[in-house]
Amino acid sequence: MLTEGARADSIPNLEIETGDIVGAGHASATGRFDDEQLFYLQARGIAEDEARRLVVLGFLMEIVQKIGVTDIEERLVARIEQELAR
C-alpha cells in the first residue's frame, strides 16, 4: 500500500465452469512496506521516496519478467516508472 490511509479489500474469486477439476487455486495479498527494506536502502544513502520506488519496482519486476516478450516488458516497465514518478 503506497499511501497513508490507503485501504485494500481483497476478495479472491474462483469461478469453475466445468465439473472436471484437476486442480484450482487462488490467492490475494496486500500489505505495507517492510520497514527493514526501507531502512536497508536508506542506511546506504538512498532517500525514502527513492527507496520506496525501488522496493515497488523490484516487486513488480519479478512479475513483468515472467512475460517473456522484451518489447512488452520494456513498455510495461516504462509505464510503471512513469506512474511511480507521479
| Nearest of 9, 54, 55, 3 to residue 30 by alpha carbon | 9
> pLDDT tens digits for 16-43?
666 666 666 666 666 666 788 889 999 9
For the cut 80, the answer to whether the pLDDT of residue 11 exceeds it is: no
For the cut 80, the answer to whether the pLDDT of residue 3 exceeds it is: no
Q: Is residue 15 part of a domain?
A: no
Q: Is residue 13 part of a domain?
A: no
Q: Which structural domain, as residue segments, surrounds residue 64?
A: 35-85
Phi and psi based region of residue 5 (left: phi greater than 0; alpha: psi -120 to 50; beta: remaining): left
Q: Is residue 30 part of a domain?
A: no
Please give the tally of structural domains in the chain: 1
Q: How far apart are alpha carbons 37 and 63 in whole angstroms?
A: 19
Q: Is residue 60 part of a domain?
A: yes
Q: Is residue 19 part of a domain?
A: no
pTM over 0.75: no
> pLDDT tens digits for 37-62?
889 999 999 999 899 888 888 888 88
Backbone angles phi, psi at 18, to 5 degrees: -130, 165
Phi and psi based region of residue 68 (left: phi greater than 0; alpha: psi -120 to 50; beta: remaining): left
